[in-house]
Structure 1
Amino acid sequence: MYSRALLCLVMTGVCAPAVADTVWMKNGDRLSGKIKVFDGGKLVLQTEYGGSIALDWKKVKTLESDQELLVKQDAYTGEKAKSLQAGEDGQVILANGEAPKAVELASIQQIMKPKPLVEDMLWKGNIDLALDYKRAETDSDDYDVDFKTTARHGRWRHNAEGEYNRETKNDTTTTNNWSAEYALDRFITEQWFWQGRLNYKRDHIEDLTRQRTVGTGPGYQFWDDELGAFSLGSLLNRTDYEYSDGGKDNFYSLGVKWDYNRYLIGKSVELFTNGEVGKPLGGVADYSLDAEVGLRYKVTEWASLNLKAEKDIISGTSDSDLDKTRYTVGFGVAW
């Protein structure tokens, strides 16, 4: 009898669910789940009953969590708490082994899981792949691979992206190009930043075979949170063109960059667009446009299907114009 009772007690302890984080709302609701992140005025709570839920921070009364979390009261420094305890209305208590500290919710800028070494590092990105094989009267193979990633730490943000496109028809290559870009942002305030950018494009088919661009200029981050981001930047660029016949052009230009993404339908669908439009200061070209717009549908937490349209225009060059439109459907991974 004693052994059976002990066995039941052990099984009950093993099967008991882990203690969930709890959020109390000002309207009296009480939500349980796991706190993922708080940023941009939205607290993301992962629940078993509704997936990821974005809660308006202004509607939160208090909260508690048994996780170790980094709580930042400004954009650049934070305090690591062993756990969070419920406080009075509009407050939360940071418990970290010393005397508990009550903090006003309105003063908190971010809450996140601390990372090793660089505690406030936020890293996100995606890799998209599109393949098309056709075997008929005209055989064609089409490949499109691109990636984009962003890492934010304190006042610094690193941006990297690249793309590779190749298409063949009846063993004849009709498209073969790749591009890579790196940009470094230094935030002056929470929204204003200064960017330095390096971009390189290589095309093995078109008359315009190489493009190199170095640019710098100010930008503004309208928002960047769990539900999306939107930023605009203006750049003074130095660009070099090389053509297949050996000709070269170089010039300065003014450019405007945009980067927008927004999650819809419970973060299952992402709408995104990014690109740059430029106007040369000399007479080398009339204008240039490099842009993409698309949708991603989340199949799992990390896998997605994507649909994209890309436009690449260089008008008025001394050698030849470039005007390409490309549509792709594929799959990818995100983090």
Structure 2
Amino acid sequence: MANPRLPHSIFICLFSALAVPVQADQVWLKNGDRLSGTIEQLQDGKLRLATKYAGTLSIRWPEVQRIESTQPLLITLAPGEQPPPAGASLVEFKAPQQQRVLRQEQITDIQQPAHFSPKFSWKGNLDLSLDLERDQDSSDKLRLKTSNEFLKGYWRDKLNADWELQKTNGERDRHNYGLTNSLDYFWSKSWFWRGDASFSRDFQNDLYQELKYGSGPGYRFYDDKSGRFELGTTLGRQGYRYYSQPDLRFSILTLNWDYRRFLLQDGLLELYTNGEYSYPYFQEVDYAITAEAGMRIRLTQHLRSTFSTELDALQSTQESHSDWKHFFGLGYNW
């Protein structure tokens, strides 16, 4: 009885069948040899295996008999996949409670899926901006901002925070902080589902607290050495709290973006913009915009300088403002 046609692209989670977990991918050859390392890619008839003892090996694909991997692999099949005939050259892939045997000549590509992170990783940065002016009015501005990105498996968590203090002639006229957290789950190379929440506190203005949360889909166009471009949308709730006016709470639809572009050698210069446009389902509020654009220049492996412009705009019956902020500072990234 013929097997059903296999899809052109499939995901197979490959793990060791031994009782003790294997920390490296295993490749068995038809001559009985076994090689250990990290599978990088199958291309042009060669399987690339990165090893600690011999660098990257290029193994002729027809010599491979069996593969076991500690992480998922994206396997691309040629069109028109049919059941293997008698005597065909086969390769075995093994997974927990599952075993799949495929025709060797029908497999055109193997690589690690871009949306899967086998190990926990943490990338982040901390920026400091300090502006001291001594003209007719003495003005001191201090700002700290951090952005963090955590990856594990198909999950990505973004945690951002900022704190700002400004004094003019010794009197505090700006003091606020904000927190934002976004949790993404990637179900394919490009599509993900996001749940996010943000909180901000202002110690100087009548609008002293903002809270927003929501959930919705997102799409990643690319994320590689050249940069990143993502769009997303969320549907949720937002609330404003005032000292002297009634609080506002309403449903809101938000469009957010994240664009980065690395230029010059090894990404020496980075251009970026990110933000969100919010459309409330509420007559009292027309729109809200939070956006940032700027550039970063890498000075050393971890040190960089940042030039940025930020916009915080709100149009409502109780309050309307468009606050532009310009920053220059130094940052540390890891």
If the length of structure 2 is used for normalisation, what is the TM-score?
A: 0.69
Tell me which moved more, 82-91 or 158-167.
Answer: 82-91
Contact 1:164 1:177 in 2 (8 A): yes
TM-aligned CA distance change 1:290 to 1:92, over 3 Å: farther
TM-aligned CA distance change 1:177 to 1:65, over 3 Å: same
Contact 2:232 2:255 in 1 (8 A): yes
Spell out the pairing of 1:172-187 with structure 2 (5 A cutoff): 172-187=171-186
Spell out the pairing of 1:1-335 with structure 2 (5 A cutoff): 65-67=50-52, 84-88=56-60, 106-109=109-112, 119-266=118-265, 267-316=267-316, 318-335=317-334
Contact 1:62 1:90 in 2 (8 A): no
2:188 partner SS? coil
Q: Distance in 1 between matches of 2:232 and 2:118?
A: 28
Following TM superposition, by how much is the alpha carbon of 1:323 offset from its aligned partner in structure 2, in angstroms? 1.4
Q: Deviations over 1:145-182 (max 9, x none)?
A: 11111112122111110111111110122211111011
CA RMSD of aligned residues (A): 3.7
Contact 1:180 1:199 in 2 (8 A): yes
Following TM superposition, by how much is the alpha carbon of 1:84 offset from its aligned partner in structure 2, in angstroms? 3.3
2:119 partner SS? coil
Contact 2:284 2:318 in 1 (8 A): no
Q: Which residue matches 1:73?
A: none
Q: Distance in 2 between matches of 1:126 and 1:315?
A: 32
Runs (5+) with no aligned partner, structure 1: 1-37, 44-56, 69-81, 112-117
Q: Distance in 2 between matches of 1:209 and 1:131?
A: 24
Runs (5+) with no aligned partner, structure 2: 1-39, 69-92, 94-103
How many residue pairs were aligned?
A: 263
TM-aligned CA distance change 1:86 to 1:203, over 3 Å: same
Contact 1:216 1:237 in 2 (8 A): yes
Q: Deviations over 1:44-68 (max 9, x none)?
A: xxxxxxxxxxxxx989988675448
Following TM superposition, by how much is the alpha carbon of 1:332 offset from its aligned partner in structure 2, in angstroms? 0.2
TM-aligned CA distance change 1:153 to 1:283, over 3 Å: same
TM-aligned CA distance change 1:105 to 1:120, over 3 Å: farther
Tell me which moved more, 144-153 or 118-127.
Answer: 118-127
Following TM superposition, by how much is the alpha carbon of 1:320 offset from its aligned partner in structure 2, in angstroms? 1.5
Q: Which letter does structure 2 place at the counterpart of 1:84? A: T
Q: Which residue matches 1:4?
A: none
If the length of structure 1 is used for normalisation, what is the TM-score?
A: 0.69
1:333 partner SS? strand
Q: Percent identity?
A: 28
Q: Which aligned segments of 4 or more residues in structure 1 are displaced greater than 4 angstroms?
A: 57-66, 88-96
| Structure richer in strand, relative to its length | 2
Q: Distance in 2 between matches of 1:142 and 1:90?
A: 65
Contact 2:43 2:110 in 1 (8 A): no
